[in-house]
Amino acid sequence: MGRVTVVVVCCAALAAGVAAAVVVCRRVKRGGKCGKANGIMKEFEEKCRTPAAKLKLVADAMTVEMHAGLASEGGSKLKMIISYVDNLPTGDEKGTYYALDLGGTNFRVLRVHLGGKGVGLINQEFAEVSIPPHLMTGTSDALFDYIAAELAKFVSQESEEFKLSPGRQRELGFTFSFPVMQTSINTGTLVRWTKGFSIDEMVGRDVVEELSRAMAKQGLDMSVSALVNDTVGTLAGGRYTNKDVVAAVILGTGSNAAYVERAQAIPKWHGVPSKSGEMVINMEWGNFRSSHLPLSEYDNAMDAESLNPGEQIFEKMISGMYLGEIVRRVLLRMAQEAAFFGDTVPPKLEVPFALR
């Protein structure tokens, strides 16, 4: 594979354990059932252990899946998606550009003014918008119409500094942080939703077409010039300021990684040869799974009750979308079995995802 392989392994349950342990420590001297609570925590801690030897096994398992994903489509738990990005920014870029980042419970719109070689970023403006929960499981039209309306509002507030010369169309980079099978630099079909989204009718559709249609309805004179995953975008942003950057990792609502691979190390690539000899690979490592991962009973129960059971196991262990839920499940067991919050279990503690 490429010059650098970056593997990050941790356990959401461990983070949950830290949070729960703080509560345990504060209550350890109260009541006779604290011993039971401590026992639950000790058991939990043991299941979350990740000594170096275990991490090495996880890293080796991920490396095997990476090779398999590069060899053929569908041959691995890791999609190892070809991004069609074979040239990364140099820092010499100049002009005004827009970006839309959709990847979780919020989306961001951004405009930047780049000054070219030796100048870099002159100015930027952005806005962040929350996505109403009902749109995450509604229809594709409703979701993209909402996004396009907010984008149009942002464009309408464009200051003179960002105005384009007459006749030039605004260009938009679309960061779409869900598994997409790309067919070119600005086309790609949705493979599946993650991070709490579930709009079945959208699977298999071109996400750029959906956004372009919604923008046209808003009267926006704007074209999508590039479709990238947020991890690929992060890698490009890093390369803009540092030519030695070769990998990027996202730890947010979800988790993913991208890196620069040698084109000749991608057997499944049958497109036009890369002029640079390299290709950015979007790993989609959130779907990684291995018997060596330190999965606890809380991880397994949460997965079984999730919108996508059996999928995105690695992501469910380490990303922000799920950390609070792991904490809740640990505390709920302590409340039920050790009367940790008194004789009555707090009702809110029984509500899934009550802890963000």
Catalytic positions are 177, 192, 230
SS3 353: coil
Residue type, 239: R
Cβ atoms 125, 197 nearer than 8 A? no
CA 332/CA 301 separation, integer angstroms: 13
Sole residue written with tokens 């959906």: 210
Sole residue written with tokens 């396009």: 148
What b/e readout covers 180-200, taking b as 16+ CB neighbours within 10 angstroms? bebeeebbbbbbbbbbbbebe
What single-letter DSSP state applies at residue 134? G
β-strands 170-176, 121-130: how paired?
Answer: unpaired
Cβ atoms 188, 206 nearer than 8 A? yes
CA 282/CA 82 separation, integer angstroms: 6
SS3 192: coil
Sole residue written with tokens 């983070």: 15
Which value, in Å, is the radius of gyration of the alpha carbons in the chain? Answer: 23
What is the rounded end-to-end Cα distance, in angstroms, of the chain?
A: 37
